[in-house]
Amino acid sequence: MTPITQDIAAARHVKRQDYVSCTVAFIDCKKPGSHLKENYSIIGPGVTSSDEQVINLPEAHGFNIGAAAMPRGITNNLHIHFTAEVFIVQRGEWTFRWGSNGENEATGRAGDILSVPTWIFRGFSNAGEDDGWLFTILGGDNTGGVIFHPDIIREAADYGLYISSDNRLIDTSRGDPVPPEDGRIPPMPEADVADLREVTREEMMSRFVQRDDCDFRSAFIDQDLPGGGAQIAPVIGYGMTQNRDHVPPITNPHGFSAEWLRLDPGQSAGPFAVDEKMVMIVHEGRLRLDYADGGGASVEVDAWETYSIPAGVFRTVTAIGDDPVEVLVVVSGDHRKRPTFAPEVLEGARQAGLGLDAGGFVAKAALLPSYRQAG
């Protein structure tokens, strides 16, 4: 594999100032109380309906990363997703609603994560005192767009807004022609709304991972090495932890895994590689990513920023600065990932009395059998 150059490494870094908002991403963009919401497509297009949406990194990852920003009191109205939708609260207090009329509610705060089931209506409002920010993860490279609640589609027509059958926002105020009925998405029939499954509060709260409930544990084979001991708290899927005691709270297929990675100041993880593409969303702190492929590329990533790591390359992540780092790590695929650590890490761990069992989990080296090589 050709080493990652500094230019290539820097191009995969989406800084906070690089995020570009779109205020006309959806059909409710002129509805009072929703007109000030901002949509961001950071990796992949997400579910935007606007040709004006800027996509920072269009490369396919198997999932999309986006964001929503809203002033206090602004609402994103009820809509349906066809693939996974996960909210990560970066700042503020948010009211999440679900049900055919948004009759159910839950509150999320900084560090909380909510995964909403597909094919149910959901919406959210900024209920905090200040401007709020949500990161989002959407399943698949093609999300299929969204279906808005029939009341929203009918009201949007009063403002000259329609959604074409290929998920493009039609705005007659800018000269777009009104699409024919067979060329636009109509309001969902009431009978179909009534047929949507009900999600109880108990079920939804089982998909709501609050920051204080995260199960952080040492995660990797380097846990007893100087500077090692990074911790992971699984959220969605089994991810890349090598700790057999980790149990993710959300296990249904999403097309990706998501887990918190925590590093104390000066602490590192790596060098290691995974076979899948990985995205890091830095929630707090500041980290340095060093590519260990011989190219010498290195990138520093701050809180609120996003970084995409190619599949199969060795990397080390280190917390820099005086504060701990918490980063959400998203890796493509529903399967459990198997990180490969550099030989010097494995040898250091062996000397410290640790090894990996046949399942890829950390264990006492003295308890592990050694197998004769065939041939």
The answer on 291 and 165 residing in a single domain is: no
Q: Is residue 1 part of a domain?
A: no
- The Cα–Cα gap between 217 and 338 comes to 17
**What pLDDT does residue 375 have?**
42
Task: Report pLDDT digits (tens) over 222-278.
Answer: 999 999 999 999 999 999 999 999 999 999 999 999 999 999 999 999 999 999 999
The answer on 242 and 190 residing in a single domain is: no
The answer on 241 and 182 residing in a single domain is: no
Q: What stretch of H or E contains 347?
A: helix 343-351
The answer on 176 and 39 residing in a single domain is: yes
The answer on 243 and 114 residing in a single domain is: no
Confidence of residue 166 (pLDDT cuts 50, 70, 90): confident
**333-343 burial: b if 16+ Cβ within 10 Å, else e:** bbeebebebbe
The answer on 142 and 56 residing in a single domain is: yes
Q: Percent of the chain scored above 70 by pLDDT? A: 99
The answer on 157 and 244 residing in a single domain is: no
Q: Is residue 181 part of a domain?
A: yes
CATH number at residue 117: 2.60.120.10
Question: The domain containing residue 162 runs over which residues?
Answer: 6-209
Kindly tell me if the per-residue pLDDT of 3 is higher than 80.
Answer: yes
Task: Report pLDDT digits (tens) over 10-36.
Answer: 999 999 999 999 999 999 999 999 999
Q: How far is CA 325 from CA 109, 209, 263, 279, in A?
A: 18, 19, 5, 15
Mean pLDDT of 35-52: 94
Residue 16 · residue 305 · CB < 8 Å: yes
The answer on 139 and 93 residing in a single domain is: yes
Kindly tell me if the per-residue pLDDT of 138 is higher than 80.
Answer: yes
The answer on 74 and 61 residing in a single domain is: yes
**What pLDDT does residue 372 have?**
54
Q: Which of 163, 188, 209 is the last residue of a domain?
A: 209
Confidence of residue 1 (pLDDT cuts 50, 70, 90): confident
**What pLDDT does residue 241 have?**
97
The answer on 316 and 184 residing in a single domain is: no
Find out whether the peptide bond into 226 is cis, omega within 30 degrees of 0: no
Task: Report pLDDT digits (tens) over 286-306.
Answer: 999 999 998 999 999 999 999
Residues 6+ apart with CB under 8 A from 230: 218, 219, 220, 222, 223, 261, 262, 263, 267, 268, 269, 317
Structurally, the chain folds into a number of domains equal to: 2
**Number of helices followed by number of strands (H, E) in the chain:** 5, 28
Confidence of residue 167 (pLDDT cuts 50, 70, 90): confident
Q: Which of 161, 194, 209 is the last residue of a domain?
A: 209
The answer on 220 and 172 residing in a single domain is: no
Q: Is residue 373 part of a domain?
A: no
Tokens of 101: 């009329």
The answer on 140 and 123 residing in a single domain is: yes
Q: Percent of the chain scored above 90 by pLDDT? A: 92
Task: Report pLDDT digits (tens) over 173-199.
Answer: 898 898 898 899 999 999 999 999 999
- Residue 312 backbone zone (phi > 0: left; psi -120 to 50: alpha; other: beta): left
**What pLDDT does residue 2 have?**
87
Q: Which of 163, 191, 209 is the last residue of a domain?
A: 209
Q: Is residue 190 part of a domain?
A: yes
Task: Report pLDDT digits (tens) over 116-134.
Answer: 999 999 999 999 999 999 9
Kindly tell me if the per-residue pLDDT of 374 is higher than 50.
Answer: no
